Amino acid sequence: MAACNLLVPIAAALALTACATPGGIEVTRFHLGQPLPHASVAVVAVDPAAASSLAFRSYADAVAAELARVGFERAVAPGSATYIAALGVTQTTQAVRRAPPVRIGFGVGVGGGGYHGGGGVGAGVSTPVGQGRVEATRVNTLSLKLKRRTDEALLWEGTASAAADARDAGSTLTAAVPALAHALLAEFPGRSGVTARYPLPRR
């Protein structure tokens, strides 16, 4: 259980990285720097109430496919797996104020003296007009905890978050989860404690 104790600060650190910014997928991972032998893994829901839903099954399939890509075989049942991958998927809506589109520029100039002219120095100041607009932004987050089944020792943990315009059909969880899973497990196990950014896939 020593591994669990060493990873106790992970949850708090991940909470600080959960706010994504538009334009990419932010990924943060934590692990102990020890190699994880490739073996069977079962993907289960963090929230047991969601485990039987069709939506969660599609999320689990996407994560299992990415785990298989990095060398982990999907187990037929959790009881036969070497590892348990606890999966959580959430979506929140945030209000983001965009910068006003109109700006007014002011120029200030200082010229040299004398009849023969001289050097001059100019400076410009650009000031936004108005308060901008407030837009709704969805933040989709996928979290994954990889544990050893026999003693529930936490071996690896990570989150992937991406923001998108709430009016964009591609910002739904069903559309977002495969890309989040791919980014989260890219370069597995990844650098521990470092937030990396991956581009959103083009649609």
Q: Is residue 203 part of a domain?
A: no
Q: Is residue 120 part of a domain?
A: no
In the prediction, which pLDDT does 19 show?
Answer: 47
CA dist 56 and 62 (Å) reads 10
Q: Is residue 7 part of a domain?
A: yes
Q: Is residue 154 part of a domain?
A: yes
CA dist 45 and 60 (Å) reads 8
Q: Is residue 117 part of a domain?
A: no
Q: Is residue 70 part of a domain?
A: yes
Across 52-193, the runs of DSSP E, i.e. the strands, are: 73-74, 83-98, 103-111, 120-128, 133-148, 154-165
In the prediction, which pLDDT does 102 show?
Answer: 54
What CATH number is attached to the domain comprising 13?
A: 3.30.160.150
Q: Is residue 116 part of a domain?
A: no
Q: Could you give the 3-state DSSP secondary structure of residue 139?
A: strand
Range of the structural domain that residue 184 is part of: 2-97+135-198
Question: Domain tally for the chain?
Answer: 1
Q: Could you give the 3-state DSSP secondary structure of residue 68?
A: helix
In the prediction, which pLDDT does 203 show?
Answer: 61
| pLDDT beneath 50, residues of the chain | 1-21, 106, 108-111, 113-124
Q: Is residue 80 part of a domain?
A: yes
